[in-house]
Amino acid sequence: MKQMLLVAVLSFAAVHASAQTAPPSRAPVKGCQWEKMSDSKLALALWAQRCDFGFRKITPLFHGSSFAIQYSDSAGPDNLIDVIDQLPGEAPQATLKRFFYEHTSAEVRNRCTLAEFRRHAAAPAGKQRFTFVPNADYEKELTSKADPNEVPEPPCGEWGDQPDGMQYFEVSTNPSARKLLFVRIGQDEPLFDEQTLQSIEPKGSGKAK
C-alpha cells in the first residue's frame, strides 16, 4: 500500500514538474525571445517575450497584482493578466460574478450574463475560459441600433466581451486553485503565452517545497 502511494505521489510530482517546464506553444516574434517568469506572491508562472526592435524595447514584468509589459517609449506598464483571489468557500464562477458586479455599473451588469469564451483557441487541459455577454433582450436591442460602419462600445463594460479584441477570465478545474486570471489577448498575438499559464504555490502557504 505504501509503495502504491509513493508511486502515485511521484507520478503527480512528475506531471506537475512537466507542466511547469512545458515550452512555449509558438515561436517568438522576430526581435523577441521567450523568458520564463514567475511570481510566488501572485502564484503565477508564464512565458513572456522580451523584445528589442531597436527603436523600441518591450520589457515583461509583474506590476502589483498583474503581469504587464513596459514599452520603452510609453509612460507606464500595460497590465495584461490580472490575478483575482477567490474568497474562502467561494466557487470559481461565483468569484467571476462577484468581481464583475463589483467593477461594473448596475445598468450594465444586470443585462449581461456569464458565458463560455469560445472566440480563441481551445482552453488548455484543466482550464476553462469565461466572459460576460449581453443577455437575449439586450442583444436584440444592440443589434437593432448597430451601425455597420462603427465599432461599438463594449456592451458589458471593461470586464466583459470586447467587439475589437479578445479578453476572458481563466479558471482552473483544480479545486485547490484559489486564484483566477483575467487575460487580455487584444487584437494581435500577445507577447505572453496564454496556452501555458501556470498556477504555482502561493508565497507563505506554509507547504513544504
Mean pLDDT of the chain: 87
In a domain, 132, yes or no: yes
Write out the H or E segment, with its range, that includes residue 138: helix 136-145
Q: Is the pLDDT of residue 194 over 70?
A: yes
Residue 3 lies in a domain: no
Q: Which of 40, 63, 37 is nearest to 50 (CA)?
A: 37
Query: CB-based contacts of 129: which residues, under 8 Å, 6+ apart?
Result: 116, 117, 120, 123, 168, 169, 170, 171, 183
Task: Report how many domains make up the chain.
Answer: 1
Evaluate whether residue 209 is within a structural domain: no
d(CA 201, CA 83): 14
Asked if the structure places residue 36 within a domain, the reply is yes
pLDDT for the residue numbered 163 = 92
d(CA 42, CA 85): 9
With respect to residue 13, please indicate whether it lies within any of the assigned structural domains: no
Residue 156 lies inside a defined structural domain of this protein: yes
- Residue 190, domain member (yes or no): yes
- Whether 38 is in a domain gets the answer yes
pLDDT in tens, 21-78: 689 999 999 999 999 999 999 999 999 999 999 999 999 999 999 999 999 998 889 9
DSSP label of 144:
H
pLDDT in tens, 153-172: 999 999 999 999 999 999 99
Q: Whole-model pTM?
A: 0.84
Taking the chain, what is the end-to-end CA distance rounded to the nearest angstrom?
24
Q: What is the mean pLDDT of residues 1-19?
A: 38
Q: Which domain, by its residues, includes 25?
A: 20-199
